[in-house]
């Protein structure tokens, strides 16, 4: 697999429906395709399962999730035809605290994200040739130019972003149409959900990701570059 393949697919699939993008990905990669899901919602897992039943859905279990996010993970595992794979950091929260001190996320959020998200995902993706993310262009200015397919240099894989043209309204409509599990935080002022210590409510009309690492200048965990 190569950057040339990703660039060609990005040009050919720009404007394609999400299911058509995923059909291409499934035809191209088969079981070497995985989904990465934050369990902010069940939409991506459900969409991919329609073209690749029992697809591996990688969930980064950071040890810092909201209870509502963990409940969504359980519902996705119970109700959808997918295989949820819990991706764990090398250290528990207690072990990390012992080495780096408590509340590393307050003092060095980049390092905390690396230890609990970036590095574990890199390890978990090694058996695959491509991965699917739920990144949308409307989420923030830093994501506004996201291609529908791209070459992920960090992992040496093709990255597929079938929801890039979707809006929050599209997500809500799809959840309703398919009666999917809903992370209740999304209706309670959390349009973008990460780890509990680093996520706050945002006011209506604000950048949906402005509640992530608020006041730090940090906008991404390091997974999506």
Task: Please give the pLDDT value at position 141.
Answer: 81
Residue 34's nearest CA partner among 79, 90, 84 is: 84
CB 223 within 8 A of CB 114: no
- Residues 98 and 69: beta-carbon distance below 8 Å: no
Catalytic residue among 112, 195, 198, 221: 221
Which residues of the chain fall below pLDDT 70?
1, 222, 225
pLDDT at 217: 75
Instruction: Quote the pLDDT of residue 207.
Output: 79
**Is 221 part of the annotated catalytic residue set?**
yes
Is the four-CA dihedral 164, 155, 52, 221 of positive or negative sign?
A: negative
Buried b (16+ CB within 10 A) or exposed e, 159-197: bbbbbbbbeeeebeebbeeeebbbbebbeeebbbbbbbe
pLDDT at 174: 97
Domains of the chain listed by start with CATH number:
3-189 (3.40.50.620)
* pLDDT at res. 34: 98
pLDDT of residue 102: 97
Question: What's the rounded Cα separation, in Å, for the pair 62 and 147?
Answer: 27
């Amino acid at each position: 697999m190569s950057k040339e393949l990703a660039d060609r697919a990005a040009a050919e699939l720009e404007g394609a429906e999400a299911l058509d993008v995923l059909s291409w990905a499934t035809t191209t990669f088969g079981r070497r395709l995985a989904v990465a899901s934050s369990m902010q919602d069940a939409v991506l897992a459900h969409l991919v399962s329609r073209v690749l039943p029992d697809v591996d859905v990688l969930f980064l279990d950071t040890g810092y999730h909201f209870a509502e996010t963990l409940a969504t993970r359980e519902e996705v595992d119970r109700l959808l035809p997918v295989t949820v794979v819990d991706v764990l950091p090398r250290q528990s929260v207690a072990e990390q605290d012992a080495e780096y001190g408590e509340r590393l996320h307050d003092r060095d959020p980049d390092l905390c994200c690396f230890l609990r998200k970036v590095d574990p995902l890199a390890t978990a993706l090694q058996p695959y040739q491509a991965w699917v993310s739920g990144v949308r262009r409307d989420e923030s200015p830093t994501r506004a130019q996201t291609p529908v397919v791209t070459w992920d240099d960090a992992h040496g894989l093709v990255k597929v972003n079938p929801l890039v043209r979707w809006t929050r309204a599209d997500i809500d409509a799809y959840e309703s149409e398919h009666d999917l599990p809903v992370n209740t935080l999304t209706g309670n002022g959390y349009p973008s959900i990460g780890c509990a210590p680093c996520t706050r409510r945002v006011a209506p009309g604000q950048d949906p990701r402005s509640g992530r690492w608020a006041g730090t200048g940090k906008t991404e965990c390091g997974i999506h570059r």
